[in-house]
């Protein structure tokens, strides 16, 4: 839990230090205006994940797809209209992103408690935070961070290879459709043959014309728990996606992947730091 609290505090402080001059943001704003906010979000997410364990990963992915298009502004939630074409039905998202109804439910529950206070962008970020918390192995040691370290990171711009490797660790939860990993299990050579055979059993070859929507876990070690099992699987060539296994394929990220596979704390710290930097992608502040 400490890791997730740390991550939430980092994101909140990031907003304060980067935007306070324009909008006078405060990390205590919701504690005054919507004191039950975190409880409402976490409780609703707990119910959603209880019904479908995969939903935690879906909400985290929803936040990623929102942030990587001009910042974390909840624009991915907007429906298309006759005069507006948004992100929700763009090619990488259509029939792929999930969890919109969960965000709708959270929004409704929050509005019932404190109407017109909490933005959709903050609801999506808080939902993702709660999703990770609810599927984290709390027996693992949490990372540490102090305020001076956090402040120094807020000036950092852009995502580097280390950040992207850490963010890829979000694949430690969730599943992928056969159509996204079929080419890897049938055509790539950097894959454990036994693992490939297992996956082929539920993901028929392209000539079959079937199975596109069949699911498989992205993390073969601990599929429903946020830990470092994803990286452990990569070391044995059991990455489900081509892009997953590229993190351990004789390239520049092999060493870091090994570190993450041995140390959850190292991964958790880097993941939290990368989440901050992701949140700093083209943020609009003040009158903008």
Q: What is the DSSP string of 94-136?
A: TTT---HHHHHHHHHHHHHHSTTTS-HHHHHHHHHHHHHHHTB
Cβ contacts of 250 within 8 Å, gap of 6 or more: none
Q: Which of the 8 DSSP states describes residue 208?
A: G
d(CA 225, CA 242): 22
**Residue 46, number of CB atoms within 10 A of its CB:** 15
Q: Which residues contact 266 (CB under 8 A, 6 or more apart)?
A: 259, 260
- Catalytic residue, chosen from 65, 171, 184, 242, is 65
Letter string b/e over residues 171-200, b meaning 16 or more CB atoms within 10 A of that residue's CB: bbbbbbbbebbbebbeebeebbeebbeebe
Smallest CA-to-CA distance from 239 within 205, 197, 178, 196 is with 196
171 is catalytic: no
Quote the tokens at residue 159.
């995502």
Catalytic residue annotation = 65
């Amino acid at each position: 839990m400490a890791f997730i609290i740390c991550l939430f505090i980092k994101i909140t402080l990031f907003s304060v230090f980067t935007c306070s001059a324009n909008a006078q943001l405060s990390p205590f704003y919701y504690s005054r205006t919507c004191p039950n906010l975190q409880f409402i979000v976490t409780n609703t997410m707990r119910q959603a994940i209880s019904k479908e364990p995969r939903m935690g990963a879906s909400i985290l992915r929803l936040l990623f797809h929102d942030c990587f298009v001009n910042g974390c502004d909840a624009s991915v939630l907007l429906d298309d209209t006759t005069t507006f074409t948004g992100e929700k039905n763009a090619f990488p998202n259509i029939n792929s992103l999930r969890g919109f109804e969960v965000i709708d439910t959270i929004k409704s529950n929050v509005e019932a408690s404190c109407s017109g206070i909490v933005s959709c962008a903050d609801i999506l970020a808080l939902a993702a935070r709660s999703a990770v918390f609810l599927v984290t192995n709390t027996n693992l040691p949490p990372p540490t961070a102090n305020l001076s370290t956090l402040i120094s990171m807020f000036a950092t711009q852009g995502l580097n290879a280390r950040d992207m490797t850490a963010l890829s660790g979000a694949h430690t939860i969730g599943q992928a459709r056969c159509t996204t990993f079929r080419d890897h299990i049938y055509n790539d050579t950097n894959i454990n043959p036994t693992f490939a055979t297992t996956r082929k059993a539920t993901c028929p070859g392209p000539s079959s014309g079937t199975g596109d929507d069949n699911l498989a876990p992205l993390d073969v070690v601990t599929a429903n728990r946020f830990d470092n099992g994803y990286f452990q699987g990569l070391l044995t060539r059991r990455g489900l996606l081509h892009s997953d296994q590229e993190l351990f394929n004789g390239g520049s990220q092999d060493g870091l992947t090994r570190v993450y596979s041995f140390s959850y704390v190292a991964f958790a710290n880097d993941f939290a730091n990368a989440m901050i930097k992701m949140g700093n992608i083209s943020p609009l502040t003040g009158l903008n």
